[in-house]
Amino acid sequence: MSKLNIAVITGAGISVESGLSTFRGAGGLWEGYDIHVVASAEGWRKDPALVLDFYNKRRKQAQDAQPNKAHLLLAELEKLAEVTIITQNVDDLHEKAGSSRIIHLHGQLNKVRSVKNSRYVLHCEEDIELGQCCPKGGQLRPDIVWFGEAVPRIEPAARVVSRADLVLIVGTSLQVYPAAGLVLEASPRADIWYIDPDPGEDLIPYFGDRLQLVRKTASKGMLEFLNWISERSEP
């Protein structure tokens, strides 16, 4: 019997239990910063030093964070199914937990790239300052997809979703596009599980009885899902 092919779409809610904040908090603030100032190409042009300082702080925060039970259960899921994680998160908690196939839609905090060459990408654990450049003189910036920028990995992610037997959504409001539209790429035969304390019902008209809404935190919802998939996988 072949393993189930599962596409997992994760958002900021899965990292909350690890102490990392979502960016859709009160007043549009992210760790005390206006998200449109620190997470947009316009904000970078206006004040690159501020943007670098913000991401330096977030990088350190992510380095200190540890995967929670939801991350660990997703890694364990690979024993029962073919799993590809498509994450909107820029932390590396899925990697720390042991998941092996991960698509980072919005980039990663531990990588930087040149403003002159998007293919010049470096692994980065330290602070980045103004004046740190690639060999061709391009300032290094976070390898993060900001508001208003293209999402280079959206097409590979869409292919993963379209081929899945089951789509599992964990800890995302499905409000940020184009990532929010990925679930609509699901096969007409695919089941959909949506784990979130407040998942909403916007997907019901699209998926009807194929949609399972689990109104729980990421960890509790993942435990329920893993128990379900374990029973389904038993001979």
In a shared domain, residues 175 and 211: yes
pLDDT tens digits, residue range 104-135? 999 999 999 999 988 899 999 999 999 999 99
In a shared domain, residues 60 and 92: no
Look at the alpha carbons of 98, 104, 106, 109 in this order and tell me if their dihedral is positive or negative: positive
Query: Final residue of a domain: which of 144, 164, 196?
Result: 144
In a shared domain, residues 96 and 162: yes
Q: What are phi and psi of 25, to 5 degrees?
A: -85, -175
Indicate the pTM of the whole model. 0.92
Q: Indicate which CATH number applies to the domain containing 36.
A: 3.30.1600.10
* 3-state SS, residue 114: strand
Task: Give the pLDDT confidence score for residue 54 in this predicted structure.
Answer: 92
% pLDDT > 70, the chain? 94
Banded pLDDT at 142 (limits 50, 70, 90)? very high
In a shared domain, residues 90 and 128: no
pLDDT tens digits, residue range 163-221? 999 999 999 988 888 888 999 999 999 999 999 998 877 888 889 999 999 999 999 99
Residues annotated as part of the active site: 106
Q: Is there a contact between 32 and 19 (Cβ–Cβ < 8 Å)?
A: no
CA dist 170 and 172 (Å) reads: 6
In a shared domain, residues 100 and 211: yes
Per-residue pLDDT, averaged over 50-63, amounts to: 94
In a shared domain, residues 187 and 77: yes
